[in-house]
Structure 1
Amino acid sequence: MTRLVMAARTPLLEVIGLAKAFGPSAVLRGVSLRIAPASVHALLGENGAGKSTLTRILLGMERADAGSLRLGGAPYAPASAEGARRAGVVLVPQERTLCPHLSVADNVVLGIEPAARALPGIRDRARARAVARGALALVADGPDRVPLDAPAGELGVADQQLVEIARALAQGGLREGGRLAARLLVLDEPTSSLGHADAARLFDRVRALRDAGLAVLLVTHFLTDVREHADRYTVLRDGRVAGEGDPRETEPAQIVREMLGRALEDARERAASEGPPPGGEVVLDVRDVSGAKRPRRASLTLRRGEILGIAGLVGSGRTELLRILAGLDPKQSGTVALRAPRGVGLLSEDRGGEGLMLGRSIAENVWLSPRAPLVAAPRALLPEAARWIEALAIRAAGPEQRAGELSGGNQQKVQLARLLREDVDVLLVDEPTRGIDVASKAQVLSLLRELAGAGKAIVLVSSQLDELVTTCDRIAVLRRGTLDPPRPAASWTAASLLLEASS
C-alpha cells in the first residue's frame, strides 16, 4: 500500500488538541496527531517531552484535561486500561512484565484466562492453550519458535519480547480463525534490550502485524528503527508537536533538530589524533567485558585525573557496565584490570532504593563503608559527618537528621560524602544529577571536576548530554550493548551524541 493511499484513508486514531497538566506543570499543550490504519507510526522526543503521558491517556491510564480522541471515526475516551483493551488499544511496556516461573501459555493468557463453560471460576486449560497458540502464531516466525510449555524465564530476551506482544494481542481479543481484534498496538522502546539481529527479526513480525491490519504506535529513541520501519513519525518537545512527516524523506539531523529545538551543530574541531587522555597512569583497564544481558562488549581505559563519560539510551547497558566494574554483578567474559590500591566506589542512580538508608541519619549513611570499624559509638559518628556536611555544603539540620528528609540534591551529596570518606581511587558515578535542582547540579559537577583535578579517576554516566560534553575529558557511546571507542569531549556536541546513540 502506498503512503499516498494510506494517508488519504480515515485515520484509525485521531488526537485533537490534547492537554494535560500535573499541578502547575503542563505536560501536554494542545497535541494533535493522526495514526493511519495498518501503519507504523513512530513517536519521538527527549525524556520529559510528554510521550509517556500521551500514551497513558491513549491507554486509559490518565484522563486528559482538554482535547479529544477519535478511534475508527468514533469518539474514544477510555476510563481505564480495561476500557482501552476492550476498544482494541493495547500496550507492550518497555520493561518486561512476564512471570518467569510460569509457562509461555500461562503468561499469554494471564488475567484473561478463559473459564470452563460448565464450571464458572475454573480455567479451561484447553481453551487457554488455544488462545495462547493463536496469539503466538501472529508474532512468531514459526510454529515451534516459542514453545507453549517452556518457562518464560528460560527464553532469550527477543523471544520474551514476542511473548509480551502475543499477550497484548490476546488481551485485545482474537476473532474466530485467530484473526486480530486489536486495532492499535503501543510498543514502548521494544528494541532497547535487543541487538541488531533480534531487533530486525522483531520488526519483521511488526510488519506482518501491520500487513494484517494492525496499527502500531512505536515509542522509541532509535532513529535507525524509525527510518527503516516507520511509515510516519511525530516529534514531541515540551509537550507540543515539534515535527512530523515521512522518516524516509527526512534527514536524521532534521529529526534531531526537532527533538532538541536547535540545529545539529557542527562538532568542534577534532584533534588530529586523540593522543593520551589527561591525567597519569592507567588505573582501570577493561577489555571485551560482557554481562548476563548487557553490555555485550565493552572496552575502555581510565587514567588518574580523567573523567570518562558514557552516553547511551535507556536500556543500552550503562548501569550494568558500572555494576560489573564495581564488582556488584558478575561479568560473563572479558577482563577488568584494576590498578588502584584504594579501590572503586559506586554512586548509584537509585538513591532511595540502593544508594542511601533513607530512614537513618546522615551520620550513619556517611559512615557506612566496608572500611568503617565494625563497632563505633553513635556519638563518634557525628563529628565526621559534620565535617562532610560543611565540606559539601549539605543543607541539613545536622548530622543526626534522617537522609530521607533531605532534598534530592542534598541526598546526592550524602552519597558523595560516603565515597569521598572512603577515599577510593576510582569513582563510578551513575546519573549524579537526576532529579536535583539546577544549583545542586552545578555543585555536583564542579565537585567531580575538583576530584579529577586532585587525581581521582571518574567514570560518569548521564542522560544529560550537555553535562557530559561540558564535564568530561573523553566520551564513549554505548549502543545496544556495545561500547564504541571514546573520543575527546571537544569533538562532541549534545546533538551529535544523541544522533550517535540513537543510530
Structure 2
Amino acid sequence: MTGVLTAQGIDKSFFGVKVLDQVNFDLQSNEIHALLGENGAGKSTLVKILTGAYRRDAGKMQLAGAEVEPRSVAEAQALGIGTVYQEVNLLDNLTVAENLYLGRQPRRFGLVDRAKMRRDARALLARYGIDADPDETLAHYPVAIRQIIAIARAVDLSGKVLFLDEPTASLDAAEVQALFAVLRQLRDQGLGIVIITHFLDQVYQIADRVTVLRNGKMVGNRAIADLPRRDLVAMMLGRELAEATAHRDPDAAPPDTPAEFRFQHYGKRGSIAPFDLDLRPGEVVGIAGLLGSGRTETARLLFGIDRADSGQALVDGQPVTLTSPEDAIRLGFGMCPEERKSDGIIGDLSVRQNIVLALQARRGWANPVPRREADALAARYIKALDIRPPDPNRPIKFLSGGNQQKAILARWLATDPRLLILDEPTRGIDIGAHAEIINLIAQLRSDGMALVVISSEIEELVSYSSRVIILSDRQHVRELRGAEITPQAIVAAMATPGAAA
C-alpha cells in the first residue's frame, strides 16, 4: 500500500472553541479506513476539512505526495476526493443516468448527448454490478441501490479518495453486505476509502485500519486485525474506569418484585432488534452502549415516539398500545430526551409554561391547567430542584443547560409518573447541576419510581443502577446485576459482537 492522503497538525476552532487540536491522519491506497469517535470527537469537522467544506486554521494536507488546500467540495472532487453523505445527495426525480452525470453531461453540437450518457451510465453501472436501468428515475430504487449509485458517481468524479458518512445507517443486513462487496472491489482497484460509522461489527467486517478521535484529538491509529474490540471501546471512551457505587442500593427492587412494566420481544425493524425488558418500582435500569448502539432508539420505542412492529407492552399485566407519546403520558410514562434544546424545551415559553407542558398534554388541551395551579407547580419545583434564576416567567432559553435540564425533569415530576426515562440526563451541564441530578435519580428510586437511564458516563451508571442493559449494534446483548455491575464489565459487554444492523 502507498500513502494517498495525509494530514498533519490540523487545527480548527469555532468562536474561540478548539474542535480539532493537532490532528494527524493518513490514508493508504488499497485501504478501507474507519474513522471513529463519540459525539463531539471532531470526526465531521476533520472530514469537512479534508473534503473542502471547511478551511483549516493550521496544519497541512497532502494528496499523492503533493500539498493541497481544497477551498470547496467541488475543488476537492477535481483533485480526486469524493464524498457520499448519509442522506444520499442525489435527485430522486431525475433518471439514474442524469444523476450519474449531473453537471458533466456529455455533449454533441452543444446539446446533451443522451445516447452517449445512457451508454456511459450502463457501463458504469455494470462495473459495480448495479442492476439498474439508466432511464429509470432514481426514486424507483431502494436506499441501498441509491447509495451505491452515489458511490459510483463520486468515484467516477474523483477516483483517488472516497469518504462515506454512515453509509449503512438505513440499510438492512443483506444491503450492508451488497454495499461492502462494492467497497472491497473499489479498494482492490486502488481506491482509498474512509468510513465514518458507529457499528463496531461492521468496522471489523470491512475496515483494514481505524483512527479514533476523542475531544478533538487523535488518540489512536491501529490495524484492525491487531485491535481487540475491548481496546477499541476503551480508546473511544477514554477515561479511567474506577469503581463507583456511592448511590447504588443493592436491595432495591429484588428480582421477585412484580414488574409493573413489561416489554416482550419488543422491537422495530431497522431501529432496534426485539428485546425483553421488565421494569419494577424502586429500581434504576441503566442502558449503556456506544453511540449508534440503539440507546436512544430504545427510549423512543418505550415512550411511543416510534411504534414497535414486533412484540407487546404490558402495564400491570394488561396489554397496552404505545402509538404516540400521548399514549405513554396517559399510562404514567415520562421522558427527558437527549437533545435538550431541540426536543426538550420550547425556548420562547417561560419556565412555568415548560414545567406544566406534560401535565397539560395529559389533561388535554380543551382542559387548560388553571393559572393558580401552574404557578404553584412551578414554584414547588423551582424550589425543590433549585432552578436558577428562580423566576417562573423567564423564557427558558435564557437559562443555563443544567437549569433547563432541571426544568424538563420538573415537567415530568409534575405529572407524578410511574416510569421515567432519562436519555443522557447529565450531558453538557455544569458540575453542580450534574451532582444534583445524580442525587435526584437516587431519591426518585428510593421513593419507588421506576427509572430507565441512558448514559455514556459509565461510572454514573455503576453508581446508581440496579441493573444495566448493554447494547451493541442495535441489539440488547447483555444484562448485568448487583456485583456484576462494574465499569470493566460494562466495557467488555459493549465490545461484544452483535449482528450487523
Check whether TM > 0.5.
yes
Q: Report matched runs for 1:320-469 at 5 Å.
A: 320-339=297-316, 343-368=332-357, 369=359, 370-372=361-363, 374-378=367-371, 380-469=373-462
Assess if the C-alpha contact under 8 Å between 2:467 and 2:479 holds in 1. Answer: yes
Q: TM-score, normalised by structure 1?
A: 0.83
Question: What is the one-letter code of the residue matched to 1:69?
Answer: M
Match of 2:23 in 1: 31
> Could you tell me which amino acid in structure 1 is paired with residue 53 of structure 2?
M
TM-score, normalised to structure 2's length?
0.83
Change (3 A) 1:470 1:119: farther
Tell me the residue number matched to 2:131: 143
What's 1:42 paired with? 34
In the alignment, residue 87 of structure 2 is paired with which amino acid? R
The CA deviation string for residues 87-144 of structure 1, in whole angstroms up to 9 with x for no partner, is: 2212233x43467964672894496473865667xx77666655655554454x4525
Deviation of the 1:13 alpha carbon: 0.5
The match for 2:259 among 282, 290, 293 is: 282
Percent of aligned pairs with the same amino acid = 35
Q: CA deviation at 1:215?
A: 0.7
Following superposition, the deviation at residue 326 of structure 1 comes to: 1.9
In structure 2, do the counterparts of structure 1 residues 151 and 492 end up closer, same or farther at CA, with 3 Å as the change threshold?
farther
Query: Cα 1:275–1:212, aligned 2, differ >3 Å: closer, same or farther?
Result: farther
> 1:267, 1:492 within 8 Å by CA — same for their partners in 2?
no
- Deviations 1:212-261 (CA, angstroms, capped at 9, x unpaired): 22111122344443344322232333433322232212333443444444
* Match 2:46 to one of 54, 72, 78: 54
Whole-angstrom CA distance in 1 between matches of 2:119 and 2:410: 58
1:188 is matched with which residue? Answer: 165
Q: What is the distance in 2 between the residues matched to 1:407 and 1:111?
A: 47
Q: Report what 1:472 is aligned to.
A: 465
SS at match of 2:195: strand
SS at match of 1:423: coil
Whether 1:17 and 2:26 are equivalent positions in the alignment is: no
Q: How does 1:59-208 map to 2 (within 5 A)?
A: 59-93=51-85, 95-97=86-88, 102=93, 105=96, 108-109=99-100, 112=103, 114=105, 133=122, 136-139=125-128, 141-144=129-132, 149=136, 152=139, 155=142, 160-174=143-157, 181-194=158-171, 196-208=173-185
Which ranges of structure 1 fall in alignment gaps of 5 or more residues?
Answer: 1-5, 175-180, 269-273
In the alignment, the residues of structure 2 paired with residue 190 and residue 258 of structure 1 have an alpha-carbon distance, to the nearest angstrom, of 23
- Give 1:184 shift: 0.9
Cα separation, 1, equivalents of 2:423 and 2:160: 40
For the structure 1 residues 34 and 484, does the alpha-carbon distance in structure 2 shift closer, same or farther, using more than 3 Å as the test?
closer
CA contact (8 A) 1:133 1:148 kept: no
Q: CA deviation at 1:392?
A: 0.9
Q: How big is the shift at 1:492? A: 4.3
2: distance between equivalents of 1:265 and 1:442?
18
CA distance, structure 1, for counterparts of residue 243 and residue 459 of structure 2: 15
- Which runs of 5 or more structure 2 residues have no equivalent in the other structure? 246-250, 318-329
Tell me what 2:270 maps to.
293
Q: Is the 8 A contact 1:243 1:255 kept in 2?
A: no
> 2:59 is matched by which residue type in structure 1?
G
Contact preservation (8 Å) 2:38, 2:290: no
The farther-off stretch of 208-217 and 229-238 is 229-238
Superposition RMSD in Å: 3.4
Give 3-state SS (helix, strand or coil) of 2:190's partner: coil
Residue 452 (structure 1) shift:
1.2
Aligned residues: 475
C-alpha contact (below 8 Å) 1:108/1:132 kept by paired residues: no
